[in-house]
Amino acid sequence: MSLPIIDQEYFTKFLVDLLNIPSPTGFAEPAIEFVEKELSQYKQLELSRTRKGALVAKWDSATSIGRGMQTNLPPVALTAHVDTLGAVVKEIKPNGRLKLVRVGGIQWNSVETEGVWVFTTKGEKIRGSVLINKASGHIYGVKGSKTKRDDEHMEVRLDERTTSEKETRELGINVGDCVAFDPRVEVTNGFIRSRFLDDKACVANLVAAIKSMAEAGLSPARTVYFLISNYEEVGHGAAAGIPSEVEELVTVDMAVVGKGQASDEFHATLCTKDGGGPYHFGLNNKMRALAEKHDIPYKTDVYTFYGSDGEAFWRAGGDVALALIGPGIDASHNYERAHMDGLNATTNWILAYLLEG
């Protein structure tokens, strides 16, 4: 069986649009809505939400309108997350600027001078940028470059006329408001450079796979649930939302690229162990066999400072076989970059899994 064609143009546009929707953990609803709207065009899918706000799409193989080689095996699931690293307003400073606390551990040096949106509880968004508190070279000289980039020394300068805590509060900003960093998306020579390819790239992989199958008139071999989670970056995204009858869960999330890693931007990766321990031997082997059968370029790798949504489900008591696949992402949780080769390999792997069961 050959895999259906992936619509490259669609994939890139969907991913760029999704990257441009701010969705830090705690404020991921606009991105969930965007994916929900996109998937609502496929009548094969039954969409629902968890109480926590995650999106679930069920594709029932038995009632499927497409062609396929349906089996009577129990359902499977795939998951990816739309929430990203971000921040929350910790204090409004006497000078009217904001002190932030990070959500999910973004590296301050990587967002220094970046544009931000502050989302107020009244539904407004206020523009600003992240600076060290000794930013002016003409005032601080070398002290600026020697300043430690940490919660204490970074601040948000709002693009509003405010020089006091009172004036900032009058803008509608409160302690606890969500803050999003600009993604800075750029597509060049097959590379996609942006913050938060983790894990929006993999959400695009899932959506593109669904589109390819639907347009080819194909249906999954087994009933499948897609969980688009909204709390992964803080460790418990997919802890809820996977139905108990699901037998296998494939987490689709970025592969770590850099010194000491086997992964690269031109392959998909099967991670056999990360910070949460080893994945499921049997499902790992099944994923390898699928990749080999369909000539999907892949690596196997081990990640250190990494935990996945599948593990969140395991820790919450989920009883499934679990695997983790995904495209190589350079400089993860920093200014990330992926390549279409690794992204296509991941979409094809998902297609092979859906079609063969």
The catalytic residue positions are: 232
Q: Which of residues 21-80 bind Zn ion (CB under 5 A)?
A: none
Written as six digits, the tokens of 105 are: 């551990």
Residue 339 C-beta: closest distance to Zn ion, Å? 18
Residue closer to Zn ion, measured from CB, 199 or 265: 199
Residue number of the CB closest to Zn ion reads: 199
Residue 119 half-sphere exposure toward CB, CA atoms < 13 A: 18
Helices (H) and strands (E) in the chain, counts: 10, 19
User: Whole-number minimum distance, CB 155 to Zn ion, in Å?
Assistant: 27
Taking the least distance from each CB to Zn ion, the nearer of 131 and 203 is 203
Residues listed for the chain: 357
Q: Does 309 participate in binding Zn ion (rule CB under 5 A)?
A: no
> Which residues are within 8 A (CB) of 167 and not within 5 positions of it... i.e. 6 or more apart?
96, 160, 161
Instruction: Report d(CA 228, CA 53) in Å as an integer.
Output: 9
Q: Which residues contact 51 (CB under 8 A, 6 or more apart)?
A: none
C-alpha count within 13 angstroms, C-beta hemisphere, residue 290: 24
Near Zn ion by CB under 5 A, which window of 24-32, 190-198, 286-294, 313-321? Answer: 190-198
How many chain residues touch Zn ion (CB under 5 A)?
A: 3
- 332 within 8 A of 269, measured Cβ to Cβ: no
Other C-beta atoms lying within 10 Å of the C-beta of residue 109: 12
Which positions from 235 to 274 touch Zn ion by CB under 5 A, shown as an x/- string?
------------------x---------------------
Candidates 83, 155, 177, 199: give the one binding Zn ion (CB under 5 A): 199
Q: How far is the CB of 152 from Zn ion (least distance, A)?
A: 27
CB of 237 to Zn ion, least distance (A): 9
AA letter at 257: V
Nearer to Zn ion, 225 or 303 (CB): 303
Instruction: State the maximum Cα–Cα separation within the chain, in Å, rounded to a whole number.
Output: 71
| Nearer CB in complex with Zn ion: 199/264 | 199
Residue closer to Zn ion by CB (options 4, 318) is: 318
Nearer to Zn ion among residue 6 and residue 82 (C-beta): 82
Task: Report the C-alpha gap between 211 and 5 in whole angstroms.
Answer: 10
Integer Cα distance of 319 and 248 in angstroms: 9
Task: Pick the piece of the chain touching Zn ion (CB under 5 A) from 45-53, 191-199, 206-214, 220-228.
Answer: 191-199
Helix, strand, coil percentages (3-state) for the chain, rounded to 5, are 30, 30, 40
Residue range at the interface with Zn ion (CB under 5 A); choices 199-207, 258-266, 297-305, 322-330: 199-207
CB of 132 to Zn ion, least distance (A): 28
Q: Is 198 in the site for Zn ion (CB under 5 A)?
A: yes
Interface residues with Zn ion (CB under 5 A)?
198-199, 253
